Structure 1
Amino acid sequence: MTDAIDRAAGLTPDDALYHTRRLRPVFVDGAEQCRQSVLLPQDGLGLSAALRLALARRIAALNDDAALVADFDAQLAQQQPDAALQALAAGETPADALLAALARHTDRVTLTPAHAQASDIRLLEQAGLSNPQIVALSELVAFVNFQTRIAAGLRLMRSV
């Protein structure tokens, strides 16, 4: 079965690389389970699916991954996001304090992770996020950045 990473990398069951990925099914299955748990968890902890997908789309755009941007655009559209979440997804700095804090943190960890500090977590707390929400946000940011790098690596391998 084709997963999100296959789609992002442009892999189909006709590709040798598709089958090579399946030599390690635990990684394929684990990545898909992780994707589901960070984007559409059973307990969203007050972070809606639309918010999570808007942030994921933002991360994909920051990583210049057109395939993932398109995928997240389609998923986000199904959630019927409001204008503020659409702006967040598009890379804009939201007027809403919480969304602005989420955007700032997501951008920092995505673009300059070495510069992230404990004070960045304090800013999220000051914006109103709980510890479980901060952990969920961290998992989301980490996974989508991981997904973009794996897809980019697979595309590179396909081009050789």
Structure 2
Amino acid sequence: MDKAAGISPDDALFSTRRFRPEFVQGAEECRLSVLKPANDQGLAPNLRVALARRMAALNADAALLDEYDTQLAQLDPTEQLRALAHGETDLEEPLATIARHVDLVTLTPNKAEASHIALLTQAGLNSPQIVALSELIAFVNFQTRVATGLRLMRSA
């Protein structure tokens, strides 16, 4: 979160965040668990980072876009994953369905319904994969909001 918000150890806000170390540590543990889990449930790290990059773009978060671009480049993504990461919609299945779901939940979460989960199942995702995808979507959208808030606090 500090890096995403542009906070360095010499910033007062960096020290202030450490008054609640469990939040700092918890956010980092969440980041690792959704981007680099011990068991990826068949959602490979390069797919996870491509999706995170897509969500950062949907949220217009330039700092996170840069971070996820760097991470994705290190994971040697396929052309389809690059297209997914850059917001393309003309994708092979199941990526097309995953992309639609990510876009829906990121941009209009109040419109998400159980039928959208059924579409993920029809595209071939199993329950653990759907849960892992949901966790990733939740975390990256949380990350963009916290980073934005921290940037605002830093500039005040």
Match of 1:98 among 94, 99, 112: 94
Ranges of 4+ aligned residues in structure 1 off by more than 3 Å: none
Q: Are residue 52 (structure 1) and residue 48 (structure 2) matched? A: yes
Length-normalised TM-score, structure 2: 0.99
CA RMSD of aligned residues (A): 0.5
In structure 2, C-alpha distance between the alignment counterparts of 1:95 and 1:143, rounded to whole Å: 24
Q: Identity of paired residues, percent?
A: 65
- Per-residue Cα deviation, 1:14-52 (whole angstroms, up to 9, x for no partner): 111011111000000000000000001011111000000
Q: Could you say which residue in structure 2 is the equivalent of 1:112? A: 108
Q: In the TM superposition, what are the counterparts of 1:20-31 in structure 2 within 5 Å?
A: 20-31=16-27
CA drift at 1:159: 1.0
Length-normalised TM-score, structure 1: 0.96
Equivalent AA in structure 2 for residue 122 of structure 1: A
Equivalent AA in structure 2 for residue 113 of structure 1: P
Q: Could you say which residue in structure 2 is the equivalent of 1:130? A: 126
In structure 2, C-alpha distance between the alignment counterparts of 1:30 and 1:125, rounded to whole Å: 30
Check whether the contact 1:62–1:110 (CA below 8 A) recurs between aligned residues.
Answer: yes
Q: Are residue 76 (structure 1) and residue 76 (structure 2) matched? A: no
Unaligned runs of 5+ in 2: none
Check whether the contact 1:84–1:94 (CA below 8 A) recurs between aligned residues.
Answer: no
In structure 1, C-alpha distance between the alignment counterparts of 2:6 and 2:151, rounded to whole Å: 7
- Per-residue Cα deviation, 1:103-141 (whole angstroms, up to 9, x for no partner): 000000000000000000000000000000000000000
Check whether the contact 2:84–2:91 (CA below 8 A) recurs between aligned residues.
Answer: no
Match of 1:32 among 21, 28, 33: 28
Instruction: Report SS of the residue matched to 1:43.
Output: coil
Equivalent AA in structure 1 for residue 34 of structure 2: V
Equivalent AA in structure 1 for residue 35 of structure 2: L
In structure 1, C-alpha distance between the alignment counterparts of 2:138 and 2:32, rounded to whole Å: 14
Unaligned runs of 5+ in 1: none
Match of 1:148 among 144, 149, 153: 144
Check whether the contact 1:60–1:68 (CA below 8 A) recurs between aligned residues.
Answer: yes
In structure 1, C-alpha distance between the alignment counterparts of 2:22 and 2:37, rounded to whole Å: 20
